[in-house]
Structure 1
Amino acid sequence: MGCISNSARKGTVTKANKSQESKVVSSTEDLQIQPRQFVVHRETDILKDYTMGPKLGSGAFGSVRVGTHKISGQQRAIKTIKKSSISEDQLVKDKFFAEVEVLKTADHPNIVRLYEFYEDQLHFHLVTELVKGGELFDYIVSSKNLSEPVAAHFFKQILSAVNYCHSNGIVHRDLKPENLLLDRQDSSATLKVIDFGTSIVIDHSKRLTHRYGTSYYIAPEVLKKNYDEKCDIWSCGVILYILLSGKPPFYGETDSEILSRVEKGVYQMKGATWDRVSVNAKNLIKSMLNMKPQDRPSASQCLESNWLILMPEATNQASILTAEALENLTSFRAEKKLQHAVMTFIATQLMNKNEVSQLSQAFRALDANGDGKLSKDELLAQYQSTMGLNQAEEEVERIMKEVDVDGNGFIDYSEFIMASAKRESLLSKQNLENAFRLFDYDNSGKISAKEIRNILGREVISNDEVWRDLVGQVDQNGDGEIDLREFKEMMLKLF
């Protein structure tokens, strides 16, 4: 699969990335498994691993194409950037690496997933999930204005992603319908936030001063080059205004005309369209478009607004999916650290997109506060509905111990996907064989301790004994490596 780079890349390093600095691991029990470990930087020709398909779009610095992964057969989006176009502009280069780091760390159902990062002599290539439903902007145009339940369905997903970003210190700075993709053109679609090229990790002791954003959606304080994460809340307010009316609150024939109106902050919610919009929705918009950033609600407070809480969203289908997911969570078991690692890899890199989409719906239904992770209390509320309090508490404690692989006290999105998926689907023959081939970097037909360290150990400090011990737990014939038969048997024991 090519050479894996262990060198630090020059660019913006996120708060989340800093928190993942090298940790001392003295045994396999200390080893944490996280999705970011499988986002590998490869210094090789991307055409060795992908077949390039049609172009989806292009810009000043590169293009986006459909690419088919040769081993898994999955279609993915490949964003290609010419090195020459960013080599002489440090600001542009920083923006590019900021996007890499944010997407590498992000683990949320409404943020596009980064699979791999390639580098050759002339280009950088970001390989992300392919979201086929088009832009939310196109859906708004075709629908003109959305009913409040449909608008709430999409807006809650946007806020959840923004809340997740802000809780990790990330400010997007260019939220707009064009940067919100749908997995299908449907009122119940899953939404994905993309394009983190202007994102930054905020230092709360300093104000942000670089002007980024798009005229219709930019916050007035950004124009003054003195702002914080609340600029994203303003953009969300503009997006909700458009979702419900089909028109922007600040409009003009030119950018300067639009920005002049943004600076004044004057907009209207009158006429036949707005007469049909609820008071709760209007109040939420007004709070987000407050000219004083300090008086705007946070993303988490927006998620607790009366409009979203009282708006019916759950469907019978979502209830069925949630029940199935909870049942699979209850039966989840994994004895070995390497089993956890393989399941996380399959869940984040190889799993069927339709099943992931269904589990994403279940995750969002369980995530009551929309923070992008499941707490003990959120799980307890669900299990209490089908069993007594004491039994539910015991069950949730066991689930947390089994599923919370990184030990942060929550079940993160990828952990949920791994543990709530149907075993026969997650551990299918094809998935296991593809996972083995991707772990086996040198194509020798066996997985060595060195190859496992290349995947799981790039962010930890340990001695070689840790990785040999991982192999030894599975190696039946004592040759110091894991062959395909041993690999499959290790995973099929989970049934």
Structure 2
Amino acid sequence: MGLCLSKGKIREAKSNGYRSGGGGGAEMHYQKVKPQQREIQYTKSPVRQPNQLPERRAAAAAAGAQPAAHLPSKPVPSPKPVHRPDSILGKPYEDVKSCYTSGKELGRGQFGVTHLCTENSTGHQYACKSISKRKLVTKNDKEDIKREIQIMQHLSGQPNIVEFKGAYEDKQSVHLVMELCAGGELFDRIIAKGHYSERAAASICRAIVNVVHVCHFMGVMHRDLKPENFLLSDKKENALLKATDFGLSVFIEEGKVYRDIVGSAYYVAPEVLRRRYGKEIDIWSAGVMLYILLSGVPPFWAETEKGIFDAILKGEIDFESAPWPSISSSAKDLVRKMLTQDPKKRITPAQVLEHPWIREGGEASDKPIDSAVLSRMKQFRAMNKLKKLALKVIAENLSEEEIQGLKAMFTNMDTDNSGTITYEELKTGLARLGSKLTEAEVKQLMEAADVDGNGAIDYIEFITATMHRHKLEREEHLYKAFQYFDKDNSGFITRDELETAMKEYGMGDEATIKEIISEVDTDNDGRINYEEFCAMMRSGTQQPGKLF
């Protein structure tokens, strides 16, 4: 085929697991030896030739807009910072140095440099990846970064996914601040060890498939799962595994047949090469990783990429060479099911997690998944009623692009297709995401999300409760929400206007309205101005350690 699926996205020498877009480095090559002496061999090689696929860009979350200035009459967006027409992220330029102090270099690549950075306000350390805008030439380059940021925002909050902190843009670069993982790449441990014990491999496989399970449940297909795209939280043997690099990921469109060839050569599924695939490709890639974890070599390999592709399409898996005779039949059974040629017959993420081999030995030490939707609902529960209502108003006006993925989550939870999520459906859906909440806690979340109090969560209520706060708190959204309440465009929300809006949503009572005015009206003039409204909407969302 002649297509380079690895795209030159190879490990940085001494990069501590953070790549900044590609470039030279240590590349993995597998050399075939005698059947009973198969081993993995790693050599240095030059940078890929120009026929490679485009590099993936790094990602993180879009940071919230700056607070608006106080306005005496009609509210308008703050004049500072100024939105630039050449902005890639579609928001005002921000100086990342005003929030973070840059430290030592962690990695360098074709598109930029990753540094250790320290948050000025808290002293917490993160990784900051700075991508030169001069490298982002085409429209697709810019869209790739924006899509990856959207996906990272959507998936954030999972224990096995690198947490983003924020995205900043200035005239020269886009800066992506994310969780610092000091343990480096899983790929490096494979090189160092050759293979793991079955117990260690099962633990790692659980974490990898947990990522796939959550991604698919939340409407995302990763499309480039491989050891290089997993970082370790620290250098300990039992370090938490973190998925990163969502540059090739897409929001799943139900019914769509994907045809573009993406991924990395050793891990690509046969249906990708046939240009007709769906989300099942992620389990195939995870199966290849499991095979390597158990044996130290990939199941399909050759001296050329064409040879690798031919082997993948042929689908013959070697379970005869060492160490496979000493590997348990249960482990081999799982590998076979994950590497089934027909995607319709391939094992699903949920089935993998229920497989006897995964559940045997070491299961007790496996950390449970805490779902992003759970974390978001917990914060939503603590909001005052005006904030909930304002978010509901914003959610009703979001574009399809902004709610991708959440629609899939809602559909997955709404098992009877009624258009609403009942208490039982919410409890079941959270359990599928790995939540271990008590019934009382699920009921509390239900009450928090059920804004109109009818005993079920409708689509808009679900979007409101789970949409990432950074998206909801963009300047343009806040301005539109304020205008909704400020019916006479006076620049203030009066008691009567608040009462009208609250009653429209079945939330208006004297005590509630009095409580809202008391909470939000900081200058005690009996009205809510735009500055007070924005402060209320953004309150409680920037605390260290919080999801939002």
TM value normalised by structure 1: 0.63
Q: Which amino acid aligns with 1:213?
A: G
**Contact residue 77 and residue 130 of structure 1 kept, 8 A:** yes
2 CA distance for matches of 1:458 and 1:367? 37
1 CA distance for matches of 2:431 and 2:317? 29
**Contact residue 446 and residue 457 of structure 2 kept, 8 A:** no
2 CA distance for matches of 1:368 and 1:204? 19
- 1:267-306 aligned within 5 A: 267-306=317-356
CA separation of 1:49 and 1:286: change in aligned 2, threshold 3 A = same
**Contact residue 300 and residue 311 of structure 2 kept, 8 A:** yes
**Contact residue 109 and residue 372 of structure 1 kept, 8 A:** no
1:223 paired to 2:273: yes
**Contact residue 110 and residue 191 of structure 1 kept, 8 A:** yes
- Paired position in structure 2 for 1:95: 144
- SS of alignment partner, residue 272 of structure 2: helix
1:243 paired to 2:293: yes
CA separation of 1:453 and 1:260: change in aligned 2, threshold 3 A = closer
Match of 1:379 among 437, 452, 457: 437
2 CA distance for matches of 1:186 and 1:408? 42
- Paired position in structure 2 for 1:448: none
- Paired position in structure 1 for 2:445: 400
- SS of alignment partner, residue 260 of structure 1: helix
Q: Across the two proteins, how many residue pairs are aligned to each other?
A: 363
Q: Which amino acid aligns with 2:94?
A: T
Q: Which amino acid aligns with 2:316?
A: V
- SS of alignment partner, residue 248 of structure 2: coil
Q: Which amino acid aligns with 2:152?
A: L
1:57 paired to 2:107: yes
Aligned-residue offset at 1:198:
0.6
- Paired position in structure 2 for 1:472: 518
CA separation of 1:128 and 1:408: change in aligned 2, threshold 3 A = farther
1 CA distance for matches of 2:448 and 2:233? 27
- SS of alignment partner, residue 379 of structure 1: coil
**Contact residue 159 and residue 302 of structure 1 kept, 8 A:** yes
Could you tell me the percent identity over the aligned residues? 35
Q: Which amino acid aligns with 1:400?
A: L
2 CA distance for matches of 1:247 and 1:101? 34
- SS of alignment partner, residue 255 of structure 2: coil
Q: Which amino acid aligns with 1:472?
A: S
2 CA distance for matches of 1:179 and 1:367? 31
CA separation of 1:87 and 1:222: change in aligned 2, threshold 3 A = same
**Which has a greater percent of helix?**
1
- 1:36-435 aligned within 5 A: 43-88=93-138, 90-107=139-156, 108-315=158-365, 334=382, 336=384, 371-374=432-435, 378-380=436-438, 393=439, 395-396=440-441, 398-401=443-446
CA separation of 1:238 and 1:453: change in aligned 2, threshold 3 A = closer
Q: Which amino acid aligns with 1:104?
A: Q
CA separation of 1:244 and 1:471: change in aligned 2, threshold 3 A = farther
**Contact residue 104 and residue 116 of structure 2 kept, 8 A:** yes
Offset from partner CA, 1:320-354 (integer Å, 9 cap, x none): xx9xxxxxxx9xx95846999xxxxxxxxxxxxxx
CA separation of 1:42 and 1:470: change in aligned 2, threshold 3 A = farther
**Contact residue 203 and residue 362 of structure 2 kept, 8 A:** no
- Paired position in structure 1 for 2:26: none
- SS of alignment partner, residue 278 of structure 2: coil
CA separation of 1:286 and 1:67: change in aligned 2, threshold 3 A = same
- Paired position in structure 1 for 2:73: none
Aligned-residue offset at 1:251:
2.2
- 1:419-458 aligned within 5 A: 454=475, 457=478
TM value normalised by structure 2: 0.57
2 CA distance for matches of 1:477 and 1:86? 46
Q: Which amino acid aligns with 2:519?
A: Q
Offset from partner CA, 1:181-215 (integer Å, 9 cap, x none): 11012332211110011111222322111111111
Match of 2:485 among 458, 463, 466: 463
Q: Which amino acid aligns with 2:306?
A: S
**Contact residue 183 and residue 233 of structure 2 kept, 8 A:** yes
**Contact residue 170 and residue 200 of structure 1 kept, 8 A:** yes
**Contact residue 174 and residue 198 of structure 1 kept, 8 A:** yes
Task: Point out the more displaced range, 280-289 or 465-474.
Answer: 465-474
Q: Which amino acid aligns with 1:372?
A: L
Aligned-residue offset at 1:299:
1.4
**Contact residue 42 and residue 117 of structure 1 kept, 8 A:** no
Offset from partner CA, 1:376-414 (integer Å, 9 cap, x none): xx434xxxxxxxxxxxx5x345543477699969xx9xx
CA separation of 1:209 and 1:59: change in aligned 2, threshold 3 A = farther
CA separation of 1:98 and 1:397: change in aligned 2, threshold 3 A = closer
- SS of alignment partner, residue 117 of structure 2: strand
2 CA distance for matches of 1:400 and 1:62? 42
Q: Which amino acid aligns with 2:291?
A: Y
Q: Which amino acid aligns with 2:445?
A: M
CA separation of 1:202 and 1:396: change in aligned 2, threshold 3 A = closer
Aligned-residue offset at 1:282:
0.9
**Contact residue 303 and residue 369 of structure 1 kept, 8 A:** no
Aligned-residue offset at 1:91:
2.9
Aligned-residue offset at 1:293:
1.3
**Contact residue 155 and residue 218 of structure 2 kept, 8 A:** no
1 CA distance for matches of 2:237 and 2:428? 20
Gaps of 5+ in 2: 1-61, 63-88, 371-377, 389-426, 487-492, 502-512, 544-548
Aligned-residue offset at 1:221:
1.6
- SS of alignment partner, residue 327 of structure 2: coil
Larger radius of gyration: 2
2 CA distance for matches of 1:146 and 1:369? 32
Gaps of 5+ in 1: 1-16, 18-38, 323-329, 341-365, 381-392, 417-438, 440-450
Q: Which amino acid aligns with 1:463?
A: F
Superposition CA RMSD, Å: 4.3
Offset from partner CA, 1:126-169 (integer Å, 9 cap, x none): 21111111111112222322122221222111111111111222
- SS of alignment partner, residue 364 of structure 2: coil
